[in-house]
Amino acid sequence: MRRYNGSLFLLLVLFGAAGYGLFLLERSAPTPSVFILLPLLLVMTFLNGRKNFLLLIAYTLGLGFFYLVLSWYTDASNEAQLLYIEQHLIASLLIFLYWLLLRHLRSVFEENQYLTERVRTLEGYSETPQLLSYSEFLDRTDFLMAGAKRRNETNYLIHLRLKPTALNKKSIMQLLTVAGLRVFRAHYDVMSQRNKFEFLIFLQNTDTAGANIACERFLGEVRAQMTSIHYPFEIEVLPVKQSVEATVRHQDEEVVR
């Protein structure tokens, strides 16, 4: 909230200074400072803070030197010199406020980026501590697959996909998690939720018969906790040859077809 108020305050002051600058232009002919200021503000929008600060210093000093030479060359009156000083101060204030606004907005943007990355990291942790996030699940299964290949073992994947008509998907996913934790070996088989609609169980060192038996035990546990007659999901037992990700993608392609 403070950052929002700070941005709003800087914006209002900037508009106020710009309005006063327009009022000064009505009193006198446009000076080169105005034609330099507008492109300079545009350029500052695309540069970083250090370069913008150098432009700010260069413009302020250069504009002051320009008005000094102009006053001396035209033998300006006291009134004209006061007008030059006023224009110099307003133009310098405008570019300074714009620099402050850009610096402030850039800090807000960087903090927002940091918080976004932080949220993505925190989203990697599941609400159920025993359930791996999908990225952790892929890393863990890749590690298990590497060992299984050396030992010439086979692995299977139980893939559950909620039906579009399923209601209360979050509760169903929690039910599947609880059933999986009761049936499968916590330190041997791994589970994860790919998204809000897909639940994955990786079974290592088993064959087709063993995978089907494990699947039936899992469905029996799910059935004991459900009140509906029909399952609100589709389930498949798939052999994992290369990786879990490749197996799931291949299954997605089959579903699309």
Which residue pairs from 76-84 have beta carbons closer than 8 angstroms and sit at least 24 positions apart in sequence?
A: 83/24, 83/27, 83/28
User: What pLDDT does residue 45 have?
Assistant: 73
Same domain, 177 and 228: yes
Contact 100, 10 (CB under 8 A): yes
Report whether pLDDT(11) > 80.
no
Does residue 129 fall inside a structural domain? no
Provide the CATH number for the domain around residue 199. Answer: 3.30.70.270
The domain boundary, picked from 123, 145, 161, lies at 123
Report, as an integer, the average pLDDT of 111-121.
Answer: 69
Tokens 């402050």 correspond to 100
DSSP SS3 for 198: strand
Mean pLDDT: which of 26-40, 46-60, 175-189, 215-229 is highest? 215-229
| Domain of 82, in residue numbers | 2-123
The domain boundary, picked from 123, 145, 162, lies at 123
Helix ranges restricted to H, 124-189: 134-150, 169-183
Number of domains in the chain: 2
Which residue pairs from 246-253 have beta carbons closer than 8 angstroms and sit at least 24 positions apart in sequence?
A: 247/157, 248/157, 248/159, 248/194, 248/198, 248/200, 251/159
Task: Specify the pTM.
Answer: 0.49
Same domain, 51 and 159: no
Q: What is the pLDDT of residues 136-157, one digit of tens each?
A: 888 888 888 888 888 888 999 9
